[in-house]
Structure 1
Amino acid sequence: MNSTDIKLTQYSHGAGCGCKIAPKVLDQILQSNFAMPDNNRLLVGNHSKDDAAVFDMQNGQALISTTDFFMPIVDDAYQFGRIASANAISDVYAMGGKPIVAIAILGWPINKISPEVAKRVIEGSRSICMEAGIPLAGGHSIDSPEPIFGLAVNGIVDIKNIKQNNTAQAGNVLFLTKKIGVGILTTAEKKGILRAEHQSLAATQMEQLNKVGEALGNMPGVTAMTDVTGFGLLGHLAEMCEGSNVSAQLNLNKIPLLTNDLKMYIYLQSVPGGTNRNWDSYGGKISFAENIDKNYATALLADPQTSGGLLIAVDANAADEVQDLLQEYGLYNTPIGRTAEQKETLITVL
């Protein structure tokens, strides 16, 4: 069988960042009775729910270290390699850093899918690493029941430019650099109900690097940053708000969508399983204005994203500067909400 005839999503039970363990379950897994040894050079580690670990190099710079991998979210092997790699590299950008090197993580069902298909995955990864200006310098592979691919990535950042997800302040303006709806559209494709005009929307966006993160790292007015992946927009905003001891308001009609037909797909039951797991984890912290269609908003805002955009909290005085930068990079630059003093409700959708 030709490698292009293989449909990778048929060989996995999950897809992309929708494979992530739900936030509530992950919290249980990470609880430990062991006291971790203190290391004053570990600037960001297990004490927060951030995108990557950050280690002080004692020269004014820090090492960013991260890993991310998942099962196929698209059928094409080359595209899968590109998407998984862009997603992994994003964690360095989300910390305001510059990626410098990557190594591959490959799990492959050798008896089910030809090694030639795995080769295409690696080639896709190399192409994205080249776009990021970094080498794919090696890696590790295993024979596994389902195809898995991702990267471990290292980056560097000036310590003064580190961006975290738990440092937002009340009164910040919120931006999101990519459109949402990836999980909805990829589920529609699996169900065979995706319209022809929507076929490439999700994949094209997932392949885009979040390079703007390095430039945002140089802006003091950016108070907090994270990328939006498997927990959905609400989940990653909830982590930002809880870590920063603030609340937030989201304007539903300002949130960028991959297509205005997402509501149609939602009511055709094109909702990934990860959406419900996400909502079960944090739904009790969310409230909706009376005029909001709660079922639609829940399915949209808890939708697992793969290789999603950067969620950015910005001092109001720096909002215009950030808007100009996002426009320069060709990214969505309309504010989607604001943070506020901590309230009983963590996030209100208006």
Structure 2
Amino acid sequence: MGAMTDSGWRLTEFSPGAGCACKLPLGKLEELLAAAGGGLAPASGRLAAGGELLVGAREGDDAAVVRLDADRALVFTTDFFTPIVDDPYDWGRIAAANALSDVYAMGGAPLLALNLTAWPSATLPMELLAEVLRGAAEVVSDAGAAVVGGHTIDDPGPKYGLAVVGLAEPGRLFAIDQLAAGDTLVLTKPLGTGVITTACKRGAASSDQLAGAVATMATLNAAASEAGRAAGVRAATDVTGFGLLGHLHRMLRASGLAAAVTAEQVPLLPGARELADGGHISGGTRANIDYLQSSVTLPAQLPAALRYLLHDAQTSGGLLLGAPGGGDALLRELAGRGVPAAAIGQVRAGEPGQIVVEPG
């Protein structure tokens, strides 16, 4: 049974891997998908019920996309995870923003959502679950969508997320395999949610540090997606459990290209660097480092904290966008919508999936 605090239940005590850090490690996921490949939908093609599958499972994109007609495509995705913070309302907000992000990462807009809930009803009060659902519903409403139902099971470990349906224009989709040599890599949220929430679980993060992480995790990627479409972006993903370098590696491998990332240009949440120096590293982050060691070249002088943060398992992170040229048009669009963003690197020819990290 979880311990009580002055503010209520410590939900994170029920979470062996908080937020997106509870994802199956990338190496194991790829083994699973390879083994199950015959049971997955093709990358594209006509569907028996009508419509054309534009994006399927092959490249590991953020969502599936089906063309309905010349002007409309259906985007479908799901995401759920264990508690990342102790406040149930904030957990619901973060989980909803995270699930909706997959639609934005494809260049779409959310339409409908279904709750996906696992709850230990004999252990945790149902009033806490009501707060989770309330927080999520508010974020979905802010996105211009609606929660229209869902499914709940009794389970020893609490889990929450959404299945989401969205709409997009077929000719303006984002995809992970559309990077081009010369593209500028632009990141729309700072890194560090993994180390901050890990430190919080250990009682080492300040209230201000946690508040900053919660604020960024609960922020929708809607404006960033709109800016990308306005600037003609074709390649995008959102940065979650596989970390910045893990998600970039997947984009590069799918696009047949390599990249350089300038470490000191990557934005960080306040306190993230200090907490990383203090050793507050999640198991998901360590799995990312192990998986990417043959694909990422790190300078010997790179501080250990930056090495961890570049691999940090994020929850509800920003969009990683490939912008043509220097990215000036995209950065202007982002700034005009109030989205803090940074150009962090460049796509170039090279061995697919390889990343060189430069100190600055």
TM over 0.5: yes
Aligned to 2:111: 100
Shift of 1:188: 1.0
Aligned to 1:316: 325
CA distance 1:267–1:308, shift in 2 (3 Å): same
Q: Is it true that 1:301 corresponds to 2:310 in the alignment?
A: yes
Shift of 1:35: 6.6
Secondary structure at the counterpart of residue 178 of structure 2: coil
Shift of 1:264: 2.4
Q: Extract structure 1 runs of 4+ deviating beyond 4 A.
A: 1-4, 35-38
CA distance 1:36–1:22, shift in 2 (3 Å): closer
Q: Is it true that 1:269 corresponds to 2:273 in the alignment?
A: no
CA distance in 1: counterparts of 2:89 and 2:39, whole angstroms: 43
Tell me if the contact between 2:253 and 2:352 (Cα under 8 Å) persists in the aligned partners.
Answer: no
CA distance 1:3–1:71, shift in 2 (3 Å): farther
Shift of 1:307: 0.4
TM-score by length of 1: 0.94
Deviation sequence 1:203-249 (CA, Å, 0-9, x none): 11100000124414533631300000000000000001100011111
CA distance in 1: counterparts of 2:354 and 2:53, whole angstroms: 29
TM-score by length of 2: 0.92
Aligned to 1:347: 355
Tell me if the contact between 1:55 and 1:64 (Cα under 8 Å) persists in the aligned partners.
Answer: yes
CA distance 1:344–1:292, shift in 2 (3 Å): farther
Question: Unaligned regions of 5+ residues in structure 1, if any?
Answer: none
Q: How do residues 1-350 of structure 1 correspond to structure 2 at under 5 angstroms? A: 5-31=8-34, 32=36, 34=38, 39-40=45-46, 41-216=52-227, 218-219=229-230, 221-259=232-270, 261-293=271-303, 295-316=304-325, 319-343=327-351, 346-350=354-358
Shift of 1:48: 1.0
CA distance in 2: counterparts of 1:337 and 1:22, whole angstroms: 25
Question: Unaligned regions of 5+ residues in structure 2, if any?
Answer: 47-51
CA distance in 2: counterparts of 1:164 and 1:74, whole angstroms: 31
CA distance in 1: counterparts of 2:14 and 2:224, whole angstroms: 34
CA distance in 1: counterparts of 2:338 and 2:85, whole angstroms: 25
CA distance in 2: counterparts of 1:200 and 1:220, whole angstroms: 32
Question: How many residues are aligned here?
Answer: 347
Q: Which amino acid aligns with 1:102?
A: A
Secondary structure at the counterpart of residue 343 of structure 2: coil
Q: Which amino acid aligns with 1:106?
A: T
When structure 1 is superposed on structure 2, of 77-86 and 212-221 the one drifting more is: 212-221
CA distance in 2: counterparts of 1:86 and 1:334, whole angstroms: 21
CA distance in 2: counterparts of 1:244 and 1:327, whole angstroms: 27
Secondary structure at the counterpart of residue 281 of structure 2: coil
Tell me if the contact between 1:161 and 1:217 (Cα under 8 Å) persists in the aligned partners.
Answer: no
CA distance in 1: counterparts of 2:82 and 2:41, whole angstroms: 34
Q: Which amino acid aligns with 2:78?
A: T
Shift of 1:198: 1.6
Tell me if the contact between 2:187 and 2:321 (Cα under 8 Å) persists in the aligned partners.
Answer: yes
Secondary structure at the counterpart of residue 107 of structure 1: strand
Q: Which amino acid aligns with 2:89?
A: Y
Shift of 1:297: 2.8
Secondary structure at the counterpart of residue 336 of structure 1: strand
Shift of 1:180: 0.3
Tell me if the contact between 1:96 and 1:213 (Cα under 8 Å) persists in the aligned partners.
Answer: no
Tell me if the contact between 2:41 and 2:57 (Cα under 8 Å) persists in the aligned partners.
Answer: no
Identity of aligned residues (%): 38
